[in-house]
Amino acid sequence: EKISGLSVHGNFQNKQYVQVKNPYLETMEEDILYHFSLSTKTHNLPEMFGDIKFVCVGGSTNRMKAFAQFIHQELKQPGNPEDLRDICEGTDRYCMYKVGPVLSISHGMGVPSISIMLHELIKLLHHAQCRDVILFRLGTSGGVGLAPGTVVITDKAVDYSFRPQFEQVVLGKVITRSTELDEGVASELLQCSSELQNVPTVIGNTMCTHDFYEGQGRLDGALCSFSQEEKLEYLRNAYDAGVRNIEMESTVFAAMCRVCGLKAAVVCVALLHRFEGGQSTAPHDVLVDYQQRPQVLVSHFIKKRLGQI
Ligand code: R2B
Ligand code: URA
């Protein structure tokens, strides 16, 4: 049977292939991954990406380049980390770097941006016949009842009413998908955090919103349609529902990975304490240190999995 046929079953000799859930893909002679500037005709995807085991995604292009350089050093890869090439240099929508079995990709801000990237990433991993891949979202977030700098490993990714689901409009109708993440990877990450210094970490629910300002109860946007008291009531309700941080991509990330049989985890640092305000006053170097914490944690996880610790 063809590889594409195998992938429908997902599991072959205990190897978990990346599954696409679209029968039309099989019938296409060429698949153009437009926002990566890659295609099945112009690029040998199995040769370029077949050995990928860990995919790390995050919003900013500079941060994901820095992560690629960091993991290059951590995994003691040959060559100079400064020489890493952006595989998506034909487009400025997303950046992509490969370091041994690790792929580092940016996804921009918000659900629509990460969802476009994930469609093409999951197809890429499928075309490349990758097996046993784990995806991590390394990000920033607003903390709910946490000290700034705390890393949150997501238990459940929840929507604006704290439900573990993602709603998507398809052909004018709302469809709902579950946002459950991999429990085993989350507890392995928590174990990793206990082996590190300066990476205070908790497991909690992560609320995903479609806006940074009003959508996250901020009083400092160009518009504000609610009071300080209403903001605090909403954040308190979120806290009571187990929410420990707020960001803008986790629900669609969890939902898409789950449908396609990819183990996934969300690891975001809380940059500020949302009961206190909406703006971070922490100095630049403190924020840079905070943003490195998810990278240090996931790098430790990867090194352990590869037997390098
Ligand atoms: C966290 O930070 C960004 C907004 O500042 C957004 O992408 C997110 O999820
Ligand atoms: N990212 C968010 O989405 N919210 C915050 O408060 C901080 C970072």
In a 10 Å sphere around its CB, with 0-12 CB exposed, 13-18 middle and 19+ buried, how is residue 195 labelled? Answer: exposed
- Given a contact cutoff of 8 angstroms between Cβ atoms, the answer to whether 167 and 51 are in contact is no
Q: Which of 220, 201, 204 is nearest to 212 (CA)?
A: 220
**143 Cα: distance to centroid of ligand 1 (angstroms):** 12
Number of the ligand 1 atom closest to the C-alpha atom of 140: 1
Query: Of the ligands numbered here, which is closest to the C-alpha atom of 57?
Result: 1
Query: Of the ligands numbered here, which is closest to the C-alpha atom of 142?
Result: 2
Q: What is the pLDDT along the chain (309 residues), one digit of tens a residue?
A: 344 444 444 444 567 899 999 999 999 999 999 999 999 999 999 999 999 999 999 999 999 999 999 999 999 999 999 999 999 999 999 999 999 999 999 999 999 999 999 999 999 999 999 999 999 999 999 999 999 999 999 999 999 999 999 999 999 999 999 999 999 999 999 999 999 999 999 999 999 999 999 999 999 999 999 999 999 999 999 999 999 999 999 999 999 999 999 999 999 999 999 999 889 999 999 999 999 999 999 999 999 999 998
Mutate to test the pocket of ligand 2, among 60, 107, 109, 212 (most ligand atoms within 8 A of CB): 212
**137 Cα: distance to centroid of ligand 1 (angstroms):** 11
Extract the tokens encoding 20.
């696409």
DSSP letter for each residue of 101-165: TEEEEE--SSHHHHHHHHHHHHHHHHHTT-BS-EEEEEEEEEESSS-TT-EEEEEEEE-TTS-SE
Query: Of the ligands numbered here, which is closest to the C-alpha atom of 274?
Result: 2
Nearest-5° Cα angle at 101, 97 to 103: 30
One-letter amino acid identity for 209? T
**109 Cα: distance to centroid of ligand 1 (angstroms):** 6
Extract the tokens encoding 82.
């400064």
Helix, strand, or coil (residue 53): coil
pLDDT tens per residue across span 50-71: 999 999 999 999 999 999 999 9
Check residue 16 and give its pLDDT. 87
pLDDT tens per residue across span 151-169: 999 999 999 999 999 999 9
Query: Of the ligands numbered here, which is closest to the C-alpha atom of 251?
Result: 1
Check residue 309 and give its pLDDT. 87
- Tokens 């573990």 belong to 164
Extract the tokens encoding 61.
């292009």
Extract the tokens encoding 63.
């941060």
**249 Cα: distance to centroid of ligand 2 (angstroms):** 11
- Given a contact cutoff of 8 angstroms between Cβ atoms, the answer to whether 147 and 244 are in contact is no
**186 Cα: distance to centroid of ligand 2 (angstroms):** 21
Number of the ligand 1 atom closest to the C-alpha atom of 109: 7
Strand pairing class (243-247; 134-143): antiparallel
Question: What residue's CA is closest to ligand 1, atom 5?
Answer: 212
- Given a contact cutoff of 8 angstroms between Cβ atoms, the answer to whether 206 and 307 are in contact is no
Question: What residue's CA is closest to ligand 2, atom 6?
Answer: 142
109 lines ligand 1 (CB under 6 A): yes
Question: What residue's CA is closest to ligand 2, atom 1?
Answer: 141
Extract the tokens encoding 145.
């009842």
Check residue 13 and give its pLDDT. 53
- Given a contact cutoff of 8 angstroms between Cβ atoms, the answer to whether 189 and 301 are in contact is yes
Question: What residue's CA is closest to ligand 2, atom 8?
Answer: 141
